Structure 1
Amino acid sequence: MTKNDNVAPILGVFPVLPTPFDEHGKPDVDSMRRLVRYLIEAGVDGMTYPGVASEFNQLTTEERLALTNIVLGELDGRLPLVVGVSSTDIEQTVQLARAADEHGASALMIAVPPDRKTAEAQIEFFSAVTRAVPRMPIVLQNVPAPVGAGLDPDVLVAILNAVPGIHYVKEETLPSGQRLTSIRRSAPQTLLGVLGGAGGRYITDELRRGACGTMPAIELAEIHVALFAAHRAGEIERVRQLFTRMLPILNVQAVFRWSLTKYVLHRRGLIACRLQRAAGPLLDNEDAADVDAFLHDIEDLLAPSR
């Protein structure tokens, strides 16, 4: 491995923090700190910020840098942080990557740029990043279009062979389970693991196929932690039961994304405002009533609202 041996491995539950905004649309630092503390108390293995669930495309470079440092400061070394540095602009990605390296990130997550249409173009992009921050392990996020390129497994393996600094893949292009199997079968030894994402909607299939972890949204962190603990203990029936109980919320999250996450976090007293910058459908009153009922059904699995 290219980085020193003291770096924590990317294994287990690494939820992606959202970016809370106040009623004026500015980042809400107090709510962000509260979310970090919530995840620590929930028992996660680490955290990820910023990612798609963080509305990273709606943040300025200065906001990304400042908010990442706030998360790192609140963590204070207690858990590893995977810092998202995705951008189609290689100079911006390198700037963000160097800052994350300097401030104590454990790894970098980079979505495959959607404008790079060939394996050669992707290799050129990722090679430039690893040259700039050679000590930092990379998590390649294979997110589908329009955010990412949604690369096929054979293209991913070609990139992994050419860029040994990529030690993890977060596979979110569907069917993620089959792709995970293909990548693990053909990848070089420099690949240390494949993680799932997509809100955790396919986690049971991914774990059966050897996923080393998951990077879901954070609104049900306690349940993801319990599910992964059951997986580690070989309690297959418990894994299935927990997943089944989460599924109604995960189904709503698949459609409403940031709106669902922020509604649940606001309802649980973890953020002050539900405002989102990203375009997308918003929950109406009937949707919210459904979510309230689903949350009631799993309240025994969640920490009390604040």
Structure 2
Amino acid sequence: MKKLYGTTVPIITPFDEEGKVDVESLKKLTDHVIDNGLSCLYPNGTTGEMLLLSVEERKLVSETVVRQAAGRVPVFVHAGAMNLADTLELAKHAVEIGADGIGVVTPSYFKLSDRALADYYIQVANSVPQDFSVYLYAIPQNAVNDINVSVAEQVAAACPNVVGLKYSFPNMSLLQQFMLIRDETFSVLVGPDELFHVVCAAGGEGTVSGNAQVIPEHYAALWAAIQSGDNEKARKLQRKTNVLNNILCAKNNIASYKVVLREEGVIKTAHMRAPMEELTREEEVALMKTLKEHNYRTV
């Protein structure tokens, strides 16, 4: 079964002036990520404002990205939603359109027991073909619910198609415990991309990075250094990406990504889906000025 690796990009969802999904910009963004050497695509993730989109909008985004990618890189659709029925519908749709797999975030807002969480993931994994890859996804700082090792082990044991986990809280000890699941074949990717290099050194598969769509050349170079075993170069590249990421994430990181992508002609607008906040014009100018001062296009 297919797995995520290297730099997986949870791409933003571009909107047009009327607030609708901008399909043409989404196609250009897909090409932008692939042409700049990044490894995998992950539409409808947190960076894609997924819980603010309707099920039909999410289907449109997934279909557009899978079609535009045309097999050039793996596309794993994020299918996690606010209720089980929508998650199952989005998972089924991902299979139907030819995606390579899905990611599923923990249910949000209502606190679940470990048993309920495991049952949820087992139902989702069993709803798709047994050779269709599923990733667990935990971002406890946003979703309230978390995935511990016991839950991940239980789900992995019950569902062979659950191939790994994306973990978006910076806990290296826990990340390394996940790596031991299923005789160390369980795929682990990290959300906080300042840990990209060290997670790979510890046995992880890579990072899921929203920042990467804005500074793809840095992430492509970092992954190449990791693959070649050039740790000195990887450390230097990781530190450079950390500096740039701090700039991009200083305020409203998703809005910042959209501003840079708009300024560089990849997407048409920097609109966010309400109630998400957009940058002011002053903030946009300051962001671009600071990035240029840090030579953000120079690896």
The TM-score normalised by the length of structure 1 is 0.88
Contact 2:137 2:165 in 1 (8 A): yes
1:208 matched residue in structure 2: 201
Call closer, same or farther: CA 1:113–1:202 in 2, change over 3 Å.
Answer: same
Q: CA deviation at 1:290?
A: 4.3
Moved more, 147-156 or 42-51: 147-156
1:267 aligns with 2:248: no
- The answer as to 2:58 corresponding to 1:64 is yes
Q: Give the structure 2 partner of residue 179 of structure 1.
A: 174
Q: Is the Cα–Cα contact under 8 Å of residues 10 and 208 in structure 2 kept in the other structure?
A: yes
Give the structure 1 partner of residue 102 of structure 2: 108
Structure 1 residue aligned with 2:294: 297
Counterpart Cα distance in 1 of 2:292 and 2:73: 28
Gaps of 5+ in 2: none
1:15/1:216 contact within 8 Å kept: yes
Deviations 1:37-71 (A, max 9, x none): 11111112221111000000111111111121111
Give the drift of 1:116: 5.3
- Supply the RMSD in Å over aligned alpha carbons: 2.1
1:82 corresponds in structure 2 to: 76
Letter in 1 for 2:64: I
Show the 5 A alignment for 1:241-256.
241-254=236-249, 255-256=251-252
For each residue in 1:249-285, what CA deviation from the matched residue of structure 2 results, as whole angstroms up to 9, or x when unmatched?
Answer: 3113434221111111112211110010154554342
Could you tell me which of 125, 128, 144 is aligned with 2:123?
128
Answer yes or no: is the 8 Å Cα contact 2:118–2:151 preserved in 1: no
1:51 aligns with 2:67: no
CA contact (8 A) 1:44 1:221 kept: yes
Partner of 2:7: 13
SS in 1 for 2:42: strand
Which amino acid in 1 is paired with 2:244? I
Deviations 1:21-47 (A, max 9, x none): 112211111110100111111112221
Q: After superposition, what is the alpha-carbon deviation per residue over 1:227-259, rounded to whole angstroms, capped at 9, x for unaligned?
A: 011011111121121122222331134342211
- Paired residues of 2:248 and 2:287 also in contact (CA < 8 A): no
2-side partners of 1:148 and 1:113: how far apart? 8
Residue among 120, 137, 149 paired with 2:145: 149
**Alpha carbons 1:116, 1:149 under 8 Å: kept:** yes
Measured at CA, do residues 286 and 131 of structure 1 come closer, stay the same or move farther in structure 2, by a change above 3 Å?
Answer: closer
In the alignment, the residues of structure 2 paired with residue 95 and residue 68 of structure 1 have an alpha-carbon distance, to the nearest angstrom, of 13
1:276 aligned onto 2:276: no
Which stretch shifts more, 202-211 or 46-55? 202-211
* Paired residues of 2:259 and 2:284 also in contact (CA < 8 A): no
Equivalent AA in structure 1 for residue 47 of structure 2: A
2:90 is aligned with 1:96 = yes
> Identical aligned pairs, as a percentage?
24
2:127 partner amino acid: A
Q: Measure, in 2, the Cα distance between the counterparts of 1:292 and 1:188.
A: 47
